Amino acid sequence: MAELEIITTGRVSVDLYPEQIGVPLAEVTTFAKSLGGSATNVAVAAARLGRPSAVITKVGDDGFGPYIRAALEEFGVDPRWVGTDPELRTPLAFCEIHPPDDFPLLFYREPKAPDMNLTVEDLDFDAISAVPLFWITGTGLSDEPSRTATLAALEHRPSGITVFDLDYRPTLWGSEEEAAHCYREALRHATVAVGNQSEVEVAVGTDDPFEASEALLDLGLDLAIVKRGPEGVLSRTQDGVAEAPPIQVEVVNGLGAGDAFGGALCHALLSGWDAE
């Protein structure tokens, strides 16, 4: 197996997508099973671009755990750090598909998702320290013991690219203030931050992409990226600001687009491409 270039840590799930388009869940008759979870999707997207990747996460002690490990291997993602929590169930996610931009999601992560039960003991600090690019998400900071484990992982990154995907999910946090406090702690260790306008507002108090990206760099980052939906993407380094318009495509299903962007971002960062 090739030497790892990327390790992500965070959510994993089994996503059940309706095979009937444009109908509510009550009228769906069949679903297709897919691998899901933001950090997992980013690892898959990067692997598809030829980057040897792995994900640190946990599944439940159920039939979906072996499926997730097998799916990761099929996509070329190393599953060695996919642990099993004997007390919890693998999370599920359902959605409705109403093109072009309506995809209501329904998450089953209660009473607790196994990936939120990551502990310091689950971490391979030697691998985390050595890998060229390490990717964390805001969700991993939203509850213990994952919060402590994620911050411990960051403290073992003496060099390399450390990407913080802000990934703010309001239902997983007690308040925006709690999230902002944890984000500031994680941002001290990151070299890159990426989020949409509502996520950067949680992190730095403004959703203006120019002001937010500048505030993120003031915290010590090398690169701040603000995703602006149909307006494209803004990035800022110490050398200035770059804006990229969206690529015009016919939207069939927008779910996962941000994670695909994340995988491509990892590839670009490791390739040494500039912001343009």
Helices (H), 32-96: 38-48, 64-75
Q: Tokens 């990151």 correspond to what residue?
A: 190
Looking at residue 250, its pLDDT comes to: 81
- Residue 97's Cβ-side half-sphere holds a number of Cα atoms within 13 Å equal to 17
The pLDDT of residue 80:
98
Mean pLDDT score of the chain? 95
d(CA 101, CA 22): 11
State pLDDT tens for residues 247-268: 888 877 778 889 999 999 999 9
Query: What's the rounded mean pLDDT across residues 129-144?
Result: 98
Q: What pLDDT, on the 0 to 100 scale, is given for residue 216?
A: 98
CB distance 8 to 55 below 8 Å: yes
Interior angle at CA 272, CA 267 and CA 273, nearest 5: 80
- Rounded to 5°, angle at Cα 148 from 151 and 41: 65
For residue 162, the SS3 value is strand
pTM of the model: 0.95
In which band, very low, low, confident or very high, does the pLDDT at 116 lie, cut at 50, 70 and 90?
very high
- pLDDT, residue 1, reads 61
pLDDT of residue 102: 83
CA distance 186 to 184: 5
- pLDDT tens for 185-240 read 999 999 999 999 999 999 999 999 999 999 999 999 999 999 998 899 999 999 99
Distance CA 128, CA 259 (A): 21
pLDDT at 226: 98
Interatomic CA distance for residues 208 and 10, integer angstroms: 27
Confidence at 160, pLDDT banded by 50, 70, 90? very high
User: Hey, what domains does the chain have and what are their CATH numbers?
Assistant: 38-87+114-271 (3.40.1190.20)
